């Protein structure tokens, strides 16, 4: 489950500025790649995925709880749905994001096809322009 978060523009600007400075004056585009976000999300034009916001807060050395308390959860169509309150709800939002992230990782490591389809002694296919090595 991907959770989108809209951060108020001034807070986002401060976070991005701090992250760029603390990471040795990297460019905004490089920062976006490092945290898995887009430059548009760093400019406040779109919402962040929570996991990217967590990474941004880490690079900016910012308090994630304070940032989330001032932010809003957004649905997949971009409509702001609700504020995030402190305490158990904040913990629940972070837990849900991490659980979704873990599921994505687990899915990416599943074998393609069934595991019982192991074909022993399958010949190595070569390109037509490649000569066999003796």
101: how many CB neighbours lie within 10 A of its CB?
A: 17
The per-residue pLDDT for range 11-62, each reduced to its tens digit, is 999 999 999 999 888 899 999 999 999 999 999 998 888 889 989 999 999 9
CB 5 within 8 A of CB 74: yes
Q: What is the pLDDT of residues 8-20, one digit of tens each?
A: 999 999 999 999 9
Decide: 50 and 1 in contact? Cβ < 8 Å. Answer: no
pLDDT digits (tens, 9 = 90+) for 82-95: 566 656 666 676 66
The pTM (predicted TM-score) of the whole model is 0.60
């Amino acid at each position: 489950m991907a959770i989108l978060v809209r951060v108020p523009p001034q807070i986002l600007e401060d976070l991005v500025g701090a992250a760029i400075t603390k990471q040795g004056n990297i460019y905004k585009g490089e920062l976006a790649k490092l945290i898995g976000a887009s430059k548009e999300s760093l400019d406040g034009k779109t919402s962040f995925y929570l996991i990217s916001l967590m990474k941004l807060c880490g690079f900016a050395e910012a308090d994630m709880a304070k940032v989330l308390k001032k932010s809003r959860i957004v649905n997949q169509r971009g409509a702001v749905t609700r504020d995030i309150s402190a305490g158990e709800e904040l913990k629940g939002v972070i837990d849900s994001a991490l659980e979704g992230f873990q599921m994505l990782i687990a899915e990416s490591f599943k074998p393609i096809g069934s595991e019982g389809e192991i074909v022993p002694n399958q010949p190595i296919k070569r390109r037509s322009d490649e000569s066999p090595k003796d």
